[in-house]
Amino acid sequence: MELDEVIERAGPRQFSPKDDLPIEYRKAATRMIQFHANSEVMGGYLDKQFTRHAPSLDRKLACTAKVQDEIGHAQLLYRAAETLGVKTRDEMLDELQNGDGKFLNCFHYPVDSWYEAPMIDFFVDGGAMRRQATLKSTSWEPYAHAMDKVCFEEGFHVKHGESILKELMTGSKATQERVQETFDVWWPRIIQFFGPPNKDSKHNDFAQSVGLKTASNDYLRQSFLNMYIPKAEKYGLEIPETPHIEYDEETGRYELEYDDLDWDEFWTIAKNDYEGSHIQIDARANRQTAVEWVRSAMDSLEQSTSPTPQAAD
């Protein structure tokens, strides 16, 4: 199949492993799904920190369950990417461990307090839900099927984060102030979660033309602002002055001043060159090394219990 035909046919769940697709599509789809899978892994590692900070047993159990979900989502996505025939699951995991695999900007920032939990579990996961819901109509069928399960579980994650935010914002005045201070730091990062403006995005146009993406960065960001600015204000949070955002009554849109955001830092993160990137990547690499003996033991057990092929008579 030629690329022109792919663009002409592109639609919801249009292509599957049985289709003879051009390498341009396969590489673009692999890059996109691998990025998503990597982000699920690294997001899970952040949530693991919240398990330690959680103030009650119920919260610790919920955080632990969320970590399990995120790693499970990653495995689904690596398998969906693998069906494109460009990279194996092991190759993608090795790239992540070696610092070559890319992942979402918000997961490059280390966390160190419980006040950051709703920033990830409510706002970042809320943004992820806006994006992932549109991917249920992506043109690569295995990716779309994975999104059916991922979106179902992410809905619970957002509710989990909202519950934490509500609890904190009905606490003491000091607690509310700490949450606001944390929100001030995280808000620009959350806005950049959706990537650069359409005009500065290297991959957006092609991904939309072949149906891998069904909504642009700017559209998703606007959709998020429409839903989550009122939610933030509902719980008593004040929207930071930077970046400047103004609501246009006539259009019903939030107008964002993009130049207020630190795009130099964003692009440094995109290259895995941010200081926090190395902290996160190295932490995961160390954990992979620490459990290498488990994988080796399991491989040995599998080999020892596999049926021995019978010699032909």
Amino acid at 253: R
**CA dihedral for 144, 37, 89, 102, sign (positive or negative):** positive
Q: How far apart are CA 129 and CA 112, in angstroms?
A: 24
- Residue 142 above 70 pLDDT? yes
* 306 inside domain: no
Cα 136 to its chain centre, rounded Å, is: 15
**pLDDT level of residue 312 (50, 70, 90 thresholds):** low
Q: What is the mean pLDDT of residues 175-180?
A: 98
214 in Cβ contact with 134 (< 8 Å): yes
Q: Tokens 């419980």 belong to which residue?
A: 114
CATH at 103: 1.20.1260.10
**pLDDT level of residue 151 (50, 70, 90 thresholds):** very high
Question: Model-level pTM?
Answer: 0.90
* 22 inside domain: yes
Query: What's the token pair of residue 40?
Result: 């699920």
Other beta carbons within 10 Å of 120? 25
Q: Which residues of 145-167 are buried (b: 16+ CB within 10 A; e: fewer)?
A: bbbeebbeebeebbebbbebbee
Which one, of 51, 39, 49, 28, lies nearest residue 150 by Cα?
Answer: 39
The average confidence (pLDDT) of the chain is 92
Instruction: Provide the domain count of the chain.
Output: 1
Q: Tokens 């996961």 belong to which residue?
A: 125
Residue 33, helix vs strand vs coil: helix
Q: How far apart are CA 219 and CA 208, in angstroms?
A: 12
Position 309 scores a pLDDT of 59
Residue 260 structural domain: 3-300
- Residue 296 above 90 pLDDT? no
Q: How far apart are CA 97 and CA 273, in angstroms?
A: 15
The single-letter DSSP state of residue 238 is P
- Residue 294 above 60 pLDDT? yes
Position 5 scores a pLDDT of 94
Q: What is the mean pLDDT of residues 203-211?
A: 94
Q: What is the mean pLDDT of residues 61-71?
A: 95
33 in Cβ contact with 87 (< 8 Å): no
Q: In degrees rounded to 5, what are phi and psi of residue 259?
A: -70, -15
Q: What is the mean pLDDT of residues 230-250?
A: 95
**pLDDT level of residue 281 (50, 70, 90 thresholds):** confident
Position 305 scores a pLDDT of 77
- Residue 250 above 80 pLDDT? yes
- Residue 288 above 80 pLDDT? no
* 44 inside domain: yes
Query: What's the token pair of residue 106?
Result: 């918000």
